[in-house]
Chains A and B, each alone.
Chain A
């Protein structure tokens, strides 16, 4: 893609010109069909599903399947995240069905409902870091250590912060019927675990789904919620999230180093956020964004 910003005297631009240029750059990265994320979503679920017969029929050893399942389950959320923002196809587009199908199918390993996550995620975007309205606000913690302690506490039966915040968000926007979808999908997940366990494949179910899901839930919360919004005290278009450099790199952090681009322009596909960030960087600096060391 040709750079919009070559040979620009940044300091000579007015606030309006800067904002206009920002929108022009962002619009460039929203164009085109994001084929990579579509292949990722379907292939990831297909690979994870294929692990079950491969392991149960003794074609693949469980020790080999476990790390693959761990990657699959951890990578399951992001294609759905692009679909939540209708990046593959907007409502009314002839490929809208593909957008929605990707959203649902990619989440199968993550045992989560697409529409429930979509509408609560919209509320997160609309109210990021607002203690009363951001359904993801409870993920905030003062330090990395506290985040992990809190993550463990949130897995306990008595912890209902997630469900309560998400249910409240859905009720606010008149979508509380989606709670039933969440309960049904979670029930299906539990019944599959129980059935496979009592069929003599408990260890297989634990290493292909239960443990990968526990690990990936913490991983996703860390990189998609806690890290890019930490310390979570500021609200506002250029202040509610930041760029950061991850020790795991961009792929290892699920592309979240550039989360600031996503919050500013949610319709830029995940895979184009690094390039968009590099071109937007001079503008973001002048808008006072926290760009970390990136």
Chain B
């Protein structure tokens, strides 16, 4: 049961968003030299990918296509 929960959590879109897309987006922002006084790149990356991941989790799709 514990293993099933762990697997379910690992494969969840929100986990992928925060586990991979967030650092990827952060690295991309840093690479292109993006910065804003409003928020750090880390916060922007977490906000954007977190919302995207949450929507993917709720909708079952990353791109509004099923």
Q: Which residues of A contact B (CB under 8 A)?
A: 149, 152-153, 155-159, 183, 186-187, 190-191, 193-194, 197-198, 200, 202-203, 205-206, 210
**B24 A206 Cβ-Cβ under 8 A:** yes
In this complex, the interface size class of chain B, counting residues with CB under 8 Å from chain A, is 20 to 34
Given known A-B contacts A200-B27, A202-B23, A203-B24, A183 and B7 have beta carbons under 8 A apart: yes
B33 → A minimal CB distance (Å) = 14
Pick the 7 closest A-B CB pairs, nearest first: A158-B60, A202-B24, A194-B19, A197-B23, A156-B61, A202-B23, A202-B27
Interface residue B31 (Cβ < 8 Å from any Cβ of A): yes
A92 → B minimal CB distance (Å) = 36
**A157 B28 Cβ-Cβ under 8 A:** no
Point out the residues of chain B lying under 8 angstroms from A190, CB to CB: 10-11, 16, 19-20
Give the secondary structure class of B's interface.
helix
**B20 A157 Cβ-Cβ under 8 A:** no
Q: Tell which of B11, B19, B57, B63 touches A152, judged by Cβ atoms closer than 8 Å.
A: B63
**A157 B61 Cβ-Cβ under 8 A:** yes
**A158 B61 Cβ-Cβ under 8 A:** yes
Point out the residues of chain A lying under 8 angstroms from B12, CB to CB: 157
Point out the residues of chain B lying under 8 angstroms from A200, CB to CB: 23, 27
Given known A-B contacts A183-B7, A190-B16, A203-B31, A156 and B62 have beta carbons under 8 A apart: yes
Q: Which residues of B contact A (CB under 8 A)?
A: 7, 10-13, 16, 19-20, 23-24, 26-28, 31, 56-57, 59-63, 65-66
Question: What are some 21 contacts across the A-B interface (CB < 8 A)?
Answer: A152-B63, A156-B56, A156-B61, A156-B65, A156-B66, A157-B56, A157-B57, A157-B61, A158-B60, A158-B61, A159-B66, A186-B11, A190-B10, A190-B11, A193-B20, A194-B19, A197-B19, A197-B20, A202-B20, A203-B27, A205-B20
Instruction: Please report the C-alpha to C-alpha distance between residue A253 and residue B28 in the assembled complex, in whole angstroms.
Output: 33
A64 → B minimal CB distance (Å) = 17
A190 → B minimal CB distance (Å) = 6
Instruction: Please report the C-alpha to C-alpha distance between residue A148 and residue B62 in the assembled complex, in whole angstroms.
Output: 16
Q: Tell which of A158, A203, A210 touches B66, judged by Cβ atoms closer than 8 Å.
A: A158
Given known A-B contacts A190-B19, A193-B19, A157 and B13 have beta carbons under 8 A apart: yes
Closest chain A residue to B7 by CB distance? Answer: A183
Closest chain A residue to B13 by CB distance? Answer: A157
Point out the residues of chain B lying under 8 angstroms from A193, CB to CB: 19-20
Given known A-B contacts A197-B23, A203-B28, A210-B20, A187 and B61 have beta carbons under 8 A apart: no
Instruction: Please report the C-alpha to C-alpha distance between residue A187 and residue B15 in the assembled complex, in whole angstroms.
Output: 12
Seed contacts A158-B60, A202-B24, A206-B20; 14 additional CB < 8 Å A-B pairs: A152-B65, A156-B56, A156-B61, A156-B63, A156-B66, A157-B61, A158-B59, A158-B61, A190-B20, A191-B10, A194-B20, A197-B20, A198-B19, A200-B23
Given known A-B contacts A187-B7, A187-B10, A190-B11, A157 and B23 have beta carbons under 8 A apart: no
**B26 A202 Cβ-Cβ under 8 A:** yes
Point out the residues of chain B lying under 8 angstroms from A153, CB to CB: 61, 65-66
